[in-house]
Amino acid sequence: MLMFNFHLAFSTALIALALGAAILIWSKAYNGIDAFLAKLIGYIIIIASALNIACSTYYAVKYWQDGYFNQPHPMMMQRPMMLGQMMGGQMMKNKEMQIQPQMKQSKQMPNSMMKNKINKENKSE
């Protein structure tokens, strides 16, 4: 999968490089006032695509050395998700939010409210 992404980025950069070169060649063929903007755009496209090719190649080599291309999917997906650290807080918030609409419909109190009410009644006795 990662190798496919590299090939996709690399081929897109090559297409952009060819497009920038075509615009630059066209602008040099028509040396007019309008050709300045075309030259500027051609140079910008060529520089951006050359940087894209260099960056894609650098990271492809880096990932290849780290062994990412040996698996059909990224190594990040192989790690088990730690629910306590990543989503523990979110799950509690969502669970409390799910209880509130149910309370309105069934007119019941959640356990924490029930415990507080029992504790207040015990203290008053």
pLDDT at res. 55: 94
Pick 122 or 2 by higher pLDDT: 2
> How far is the C-alpha of 117 from the C-alpha of 81, rounded, in Å?
38
84 within some domain: no
The pTM for the full model equals 0.54
**96 and 116 co-located in one domain:** yes
Two structure tokens written together for 14: 């090559």
pLDDT at res. 84: 53
Q: Domain tally for the chain?
A: 2
**69 and 95 co-located in one domain:** no
**41 and 98 co-located in one domain:** no
**12 and 66 co-located in one domain:** yes
User: How does pLDDT run across 2-53, given as a tens digit for each residue?
Assistant: 788 889 999 999 999 999 999 999 888 887 767 888 899 999 999 999 999 9
**42 and 95 co-located in one domain:** no
**72 and 94 co-located in one domain:** no
61 within some domain: yes
Domain that holds residue 43: 2-77
**98 and 56 co-located in one domain:** no
pLDDT band at 108 (very low <50, low <70, confident <90, very high): low
**58 and 112 co-located in one domain:** no
**35 and 62 co-located in one domain:** yes
Q: Can you give the chain as a three-state secondary structure string?
A: CHHHHHHHHHHHHHHHHHHHHHHHHHHHHCCCCCHHHHHHHHHHHHHHHHHHHHHHHHHHHHHHHHCHHHCCCCHHHHCCCCHHHHCHHHHHHHHHHHHHHHHHHHCCCCHHHHHHHHHHHHHHC
57 within some domain: yes
